[in-house]
Chain A
Amino acid sequence: MWLLPILIVAVSVGLSIPVGRYLAWINDGKYSPPKPLRWIERQLNTGPQTWKQYVFSLMLFNMIMFLFGYTVLALQPSLPLNQHDSAFPEGKGMLAPTTIFNTVSSFLTNTNLQHYSGEQHLSYFSQLLFIVWNMFVSGAVGFCALAAVIRGLRGDLHMGNYYLDMWRVVVYVFIPFCIVTGILLIACGMPMTLEPAAEATTIENGAMGKNDDGTPKPQVIARGPVAAILPIKHFGTNGGGFFGANSAHPFENPSAWTNFIECVSILLFPLSLVVMFGRMLKAERHAAVIYTVMMLMFLGMIGWAVYHDTAKPNPALLAQKGQTVKVHGAEDKTLSPLVDLPVDQNGLGNLEGKELRFGPSAGATFSAVTTAVTCGSVNCMHDSMNPLAGITPMTGMMLNCVFGGKGVGLINLLIYLVVGVFLAGLMVGRTPEYLGKKVEAREMKLAMLALLIHPIMVLGPTGLFAALEWSKASEGNPSAHGFSEVLYEFSSASANNGSEFGGLNTTWGFNESKKNLSTPAPFSREWDIATGLVMLFSRFIPIIAPIALAASLAAKKKTPFTSGTMRTDTITFGFVLLGTILLVGALLFLPAIALGPVAEHYGPMPFGR
């Protein structure tokens, strides 16, 4: 039960140290590229940028990507590699415009929230040119933002060059790691083909239904260039699946081995970035404290999820009345509802919504991994987890700093750190300092802007939707579980996570609804637009404000270290940081958690029945 999470954490921690050093080496420009690459770098390097120039470049790049992505998806029916099969004889049509808006915003912001199903609604061209491209560059944006913040914190006069940083991350980090992992995944059975969906004749005649002329329908098995997407899906903490079922699909996660590789791929860069932070800042003890605080929270999340999800079967299942059998000479006996199930569930916990080929704790472990680092890939249905276990993925997204998404997770933690330093300074009656720079009113205002946008974007829309028909008509389950579905959706959008709780009906699909395999959701327009806007604001405000904060600190004189200076490389400071995160996080989100999973756990009717 516990072997899998222990192995995943141990291997990820072990790899994070050399990889973190490599990242620092790349970001500090200490490498010597081959001549052709050096020439490209010279063309891209527009010179050192101030924080405003850096952030303007970042935003301009993303705005162009928005228009580019929108164009590709809007023109999908006319573009090449639009495969035809018996399920879609005319190829893939055009998505509904609000779904295009949502999808472009989602992949641009590294969220990968999917209000569509990959194998149904996207052509191979859209998957390769739009999805993969965005996965590379949106993942690199967080990297670049962190590099700029680190340069500011160490007092550099400029923040680097955005275009050069982007190039370095994509070419020297993502591409080599993705090639190696892609080959490994193909060797483990993952498809990599441009052939259209396979059609198979089922052994049972007509198992897939019959055509109008009475002939049996073939089984259509979706496939495609899955191995091209999977590595960057995880290394870039993107999470958007080639298939609707994401990493629960046997082609997207064929075996327990690929499941292990995928988990380590998700964790690798977020963990390594803390090591990079220490190397670039030349403050490795301080980075070790941050790493330990993040790891403690992460281990707590995994432990909570695995314990509560493997403790007992799904409560809705247990609430069912089992079969009644007659016993000769005695009273009738009612059997447990678990008796008739094909798999003996005793000691394995909640198996609903899980892929048994990965092992009983793999779903809970994956849920903690994917939400701690805000990846969003899933290998089980989070909707089906026991109510208390479901708190883990929500907590990961709400705190958004338990390693967090690449770059931005650490930036979020640094914001908590500034708040912690400020509170500690107030308690001892000294002007707060961080890395020898005074933290004053301007820095605190910027920190609060970056910190508060996330809870505002989670709780505001959740409250609005919960009060309107938009939520009730879309929930798969009523009552507390339905509220959890809505809360999860906005937490996922705002944390740029992208995973789905499941159960919430938000998909329109192709604009012409008759081309869809299912009926469009009644309020998909509202969900598309609301979550699209949440993703955009929650992505970029917590990037812009911290870079401005770092630049503000960079412009200040360093104050001499005295006996009264609060050290940031001690266990005491670690507790201050941990306490600040947990206290602020609980104040912001605990009431909402209480209305969702906690109410469901203690409620008399599980899952709102």
Chain B
Amino acid sequence: VICHTELRIFVAGDSVMDLFIWLPVTVVLGLAAFGILFAFITGCDKV
């Protein structure tokens, strides 16, 4: 359970990243990188 104070939506500002945007974006970014690497494995077979 994520602490309530951490999950609240912050008013857009320079000093806080909006967790509802940045948490999923960074997780998907990591998984996308892994997706590319899995594709690279398949690609190596076809070299």
Q: Chain B contacts of A303 at CB under 8 A?
A: none
Give the number of residues in B that approach A within 8 Å (Cβ atoms).
Answer: 28
Q: Interface-forming stretch among A55-63, A139-147, A171-179, A468-476?
A: A55-63
Q: Chain A contacts of B2 at CB under 8 A?
A: 74-75, 78
Instruction: Name the CB-closest residue of A to B10.
Output: A512
Residues 529 to 545 of chain A near chain B (Cβ within 8 Å): 529, 532-533, 536-537, 540-541, 544-545
Q: Chain A contacts of B15 at CB under 8 A?
A: 512-514, 520
Residues 84 to 133 of chain A near chain B (Cβ within 8 Å): 93-94, 96-98, 100-101, 104-105
Could you tell me the dominant secondary structure of chain B's interface residues? Answer: helix
A525 near B47 (CB under 8 angstroms)?
no
- Shortest Cβ distance from A507 into chain B, in angstroms? 13
Q: Chain B contacts of A264 at CB under 8 A?
A: none
Residues 474 to 519 of chain A near chain B (Cβ within 8 Å): 508, 511-514
For residue A268, CB closer than 8 A to chain B, the reply is no
For residue A70, CB closer than 8 A to chain B, the reply is yes
- Shortest Cβ distance from B7 into chain A, in angstroms? 9
For residue B33, CB closer than 8 A to chain A, the reply is yes
A59 near B17 (CB under 8 angstroms)?
no
Q: Chain A contacts of B12 at CB under 8 A?
A: none
For residue A548, CB closer than 8 A to chain B, the reply is yes
- Shortest Cβ distance from A429 into chain B, in angstroms? 25
Q: What is the 8 Å Cβ interface bit string for chain B, positions 8-30, against chain A (1 contact, 0 not)?
A: 00100001110100110111011
For residue A465, CB closer than 8 A to chain B, the reply is no
B6 near A97 (CB under 8 angstroms)?
no
Q: Chain A contacts of B40 at CB under 8 A?
A: 540-541, 544
B19 near A97 (CB under 8 angstroms)?
yes
A98 near B22 (CB under 8 angstroms)?
yes
Complex CA gap A466/B16 in Å reads 26
B44 near A511 (CB under 8 angstroms)?
no
Give the number of residues in A that approach B within 8 Å (Cβ atoms).
Answer: 43
- Shortest Cβ distance from B9 into chain A, in angstroms? 12
A533 near B33 (CB under 8 angstroms)?
yes
Q: Chain B contacts of A98 at CB under 8 A?
A: 17, 22, 26
Beyond A59-B41, A511-B6, whether A97 also contacts B22 by CB under 8 A is yes
A101 near B26 (CB under 8 angstroms)?
yes
Interface residues of A (CB under 8 A from B): 52, 55-56, 59, 62-63, 66-67, 70, 74-75, 77-78, 93-94, 96-98, 100-101, 104-105, 442, 445-446, 449, 508, 511-514, 520, 525, 529, 532-533, 536-537, 540-541, 544-545, 548
Beyond A97-B23, A537-B37, A544-B40, whether A511 also contacts B47 by CB under 8 A is no
A536 near B17 (CB under 8 angstroms)?
no
Which listed residue (B29, B44, B45) contacts A101, Cβ 8 A? Answer: B29
Beyond A94-B6, A97-B19, A101-B26, whether A78 also contacts B1 by CB under 8 A is yes
Q: What 7 pairs across the A-B complex have the smallest Cβ distances?
A: A513-B15, A97-B22, A101-B26, A548-B44, A77-B3, A536-B33, A63-B34
B47 near A536 (CB under 8 angstroms)?
no
- Shortest Cβ distance from A23 into chain B, in angstroms? 27
- Shortest Cβ distance from B2 into chain A, in angstroms? 6
A97 near B25 (CB under 8 angstroms)?
yes
Complex CA gap A511/B14 in Å reads 11
Complex CA gap A126/B16 in Å reads 22
Complex CA gap A297/B29 in Å reads 38
Complex CA gap A504/B22 in Å reads 23
Q: Which of B22, B29, B30, B44 has most chain A Cβ within 10 Å?
A: B44
Beyond A75-B2, A78-B3, A512-B16, whether A100 also contacts B26 by CB under 8 A is yes
